[in-house]
């Protein structure tokens, strides 16, 4: 896809991976609608923030009413917003389980539901869902977060087969540990410089978006090369 002049909707743009991919798409000449609870710091004439808690279906529906009042076609939908809580499953408060599923899974459902009818009509579009390497293997103390991201994997691989004949691409991204605020709820892990950088994850998405129209990247697994430092 030639990115210049295309419209992207990105969830969770206040920081981390969502902020990084927003900036890279703006640099490529895209118009970006950023959906989130906090606006963050992006200042760009082609960036439009829409206040939206993606856990709330009415919020998401209202955000897309605002978007389609301004433009006719969304070409790119990046479902990025998400969070993790960690620990023994039996100790996890129900509200943390609910918040993770509502954000990491329901949010993607609401956004896909909002954008797919128009993408089908346009016979064109690219949806990118951010899962995690936690969607590829089980991890102790990460069972609830893993469950949400396995759901993202299942949704993405099924949706890809559901909408490819309409000219719509679906890519699922599986990043390893990335240096963002994501680890604020993790007592054991602190972000460090041998992790992926949010810009690295953003770059792989931009490259996937730039692929020719006749094929697409279904799954993108990316990991830091030396997560414990050089030679370790």
Ligand X SMILES: NC(=O)c1ccc[n+]([C@@H]2O[C@H](COP(=O)([O-])OP(=O)(O)OC[C@H]3O[C@@H](n4cnc5c(N)ncnc54)[C@H](OP(=O)(O)O)[C@@H]3O)[C@@H](O)[C@H]2O)c1
Q: Which span sits near ligand X by CB under 6 A: 30-38, 109-117, 160-168, 204-212?
A: 30-38
Question: Should residue 12 be labelled a site residue for ligand X when binding is judged by CB under 6 A?
Answer: yes
Q: Which span sits near ligand X by CB under 6 A: 61-69, 74-82, 153-161, 214-222?
A: 74-82
Instruction: Assign 126 to helix, strand or coil.
Output: strand
Q: Least CB distance from residue 39 to ligand X, whole Å?
A: 9
Tell me the C-alpha distance between 229 and 232, whole Å.
6
Q: Least CB distance from residue 79 to ligand X, whole Å?
A: 8
Q: Least CB distance from residue 20 to ligand X, whole Å?
A: 8
Q: Least CB distance from residue 53 to ligand X, whole Å?
A: 5
Q: Which residues contact 207 (CB under 8 A, 6 or more apart)?
A: none
CA distances from 87 to 90, 95, 192 (A): 8, 14, 21
- Cβ closest to ligand X, residue 156 vs residue 180: 180
Q: Show the site string, 133-172: x = touches ligand X by CB under 6 A, - = not.
A: ----------------------------------------
- Cβ closest to ligand X, residue 124 vs residue 177: 177
68 noted as active-site residue? no
Tell me the C-alpha distance between 191 and 174, whole Å.
18
Q: Show the site string, 86-125: x = touches ligand X by CB under 6 A, - = not.
A: -----------------x----------------------
SS (H, E, C) 28-92: CCCEEEEEECCCCCCCCCCEEEEECCCCCHHHHHHHHHHHHHHCCCCCEEEECCCCCCCCCHHHC
Annotated catalytic residue, options 31, 124, 145, 174 = 145
Apex 82 CA angle, 78 and 85, nearest 5:
165
Helix (H) or strand (E) holding 168, with range, is strand 168-175
Compute the radius of gyration of the chain from its Cα atoms.
Answer: 17
Residues at the contact surface with ligand X, assessed by CB under 6 A: 11-18, 36-38, 53-55, 80-84, 103, 130, 132, 175, 177-178, 180-182, 198
Active site residues: 145
């Amino acid at each position: 896809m030639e990115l210049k002049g295309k419209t992207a909707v990105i969830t969770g743009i206040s920081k981390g991976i969502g902020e990084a991919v927003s900036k890279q798409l703006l640099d490529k000449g895209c118009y970006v609608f950023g959906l989130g609870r906090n606006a963050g710091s992006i200042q760009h004439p082609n960036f439009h923030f829409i206040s939206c808690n993606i856990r709330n279906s009415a919020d998401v529906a209202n955000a897309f009413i605002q978007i389609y009042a301004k433009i006719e076609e969304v070409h790119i939908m990046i479902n990025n917003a998400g969070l993790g809580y960690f620990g023994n499953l039996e100790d996890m408060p129900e509200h943390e389980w609910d918040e993770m599923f509502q954000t990491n899974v329901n949010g993607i459902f609401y956004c896909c539901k909002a954008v797919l009818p128009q993408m089908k009509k346009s016979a064109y579009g690219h949806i990118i869902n951010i899962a995690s390497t936690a969607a590829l293997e089980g991890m102790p103390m990460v069972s609830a977060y893993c469950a949400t991201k396995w759901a993202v994997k299942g949704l993405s691989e099924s949706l890809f087969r559901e909408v490819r004949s309409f000219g719509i691409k679906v890519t699922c991204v599986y990043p390893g540990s990335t240096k963002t605020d994501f680890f604020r709820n993790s007592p054991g892990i602190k972000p460090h410089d041998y992790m992926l950088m949010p810009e690295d994850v953003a770059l792989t998405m931009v490259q996937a978006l730039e692929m020719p129209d006749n094929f697409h990247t279904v799954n993108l697994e990316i990991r830091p090369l030396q997560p414990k430092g050089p030679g370790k």
